[in-house]
Amino acid sequence: MSEPVELVLSEREEGIRLDKVLAERLPDLTRTAIQRLLEEEQVLINGKPAAKNRKGRAGDSVALRIPDPEPLCLQAENVPLDIVYEDDDLLVVNKPQGMVVHPAPGNYQGTLVNALLAHCGNSLSGINGVIRPGIVHRIDKDTSGLLMVAKNDFAHQGLARQIKEHSFRREYEAVVAGRMKQESGVVNAPIGRHPIDRKKMAVTEKNSKEAVTYFRVIAEYPGYTHIRLRLETGRTHQIRVHMAYLGHPVAGDPAYGPRKPDLGLKGQCLHARLIGFVHPRDGRYLEFESPLPDYFTRLLTKLEQL
């Protein structure tokens, strides 16, 4: 354990949540990392562990005990990667449907992280911990498409800041059940943990966060609609939850749609088709597109024949 980071809160920080104060005072740590330290009782106020929702008071003495980095025990695997762009700071990967992004119980092999370790070696950011090196944002196992990966903490912080400020552009395509009532629209409904099924998310006012999704109809088929979506926020399962909330669950979605996946799909028909962001090192705006994968185009062909 390294020496604790110590600081004293000022009058202007009175009444502001401690995790927000510390994220502003300590730019090398993300707010998520600070919240993790709070949960692990590694943040002390006046010598006592601080509660996660603690608000600052002028004159409070704060000490952060930052654990030494854990040794990386994940196995590098020679799993093929579809790399759309790469430089010394970051890379953009086109993830196939069915690939898990980072290891978790039941999925410790064959993940995107295992493949990245083989490709990048030790050149991955460590901000999100030993299990998620380089991972700035995620998409679900059965969602295909584009992901950014940070090779160092500088790039990670710059990209994460754009996500937080909603300046990071993300567009998706999906096939959803039913015919949409509007050609385009916006869903502005907060998302939080499902009150009964803790593995799922839901539109709820309780312990939730703002979630905004824009949609536009591309084509209509008997019983289904092909749509394009743009995320303003990036909550867990956001598109899947918002579409189910509208009564149009994503086709093939086993969690938020019918229990039995329809149309022979192996998971939700959802593809991250475009990402755009400012390069954290040189300020260039970069934008990348991914064509619809085979499973998606095969479905569209099937729908055209209905």
Q: What are phi and psi of 31, to 5 degrees?
A: -65, -35
State the amino acid at position 57 in one-letter form: R
Q: Kindly report the number of other CB atoms within 10 A of residue 306's CB atom.
A: 9
What is d(CA 221, CA 274) in angstroms, rounded to the nearest whole number? 24
Exposure b/e, 225-259, CB count within 10 A at least 16 = b: bbbbbebbbbbebbbbbbbbbbebbbbbbebbbee
Neighbours of 181 (CB within 10 A): 10
Selecting among 140, 142, 253, 262, the annotated active-site residue is 140
The whole-angstrom separation of Cα 78 and Cα 4 is 39
Known active-site residue 140: yes
By annotation, the residues acting in catalysis are 140
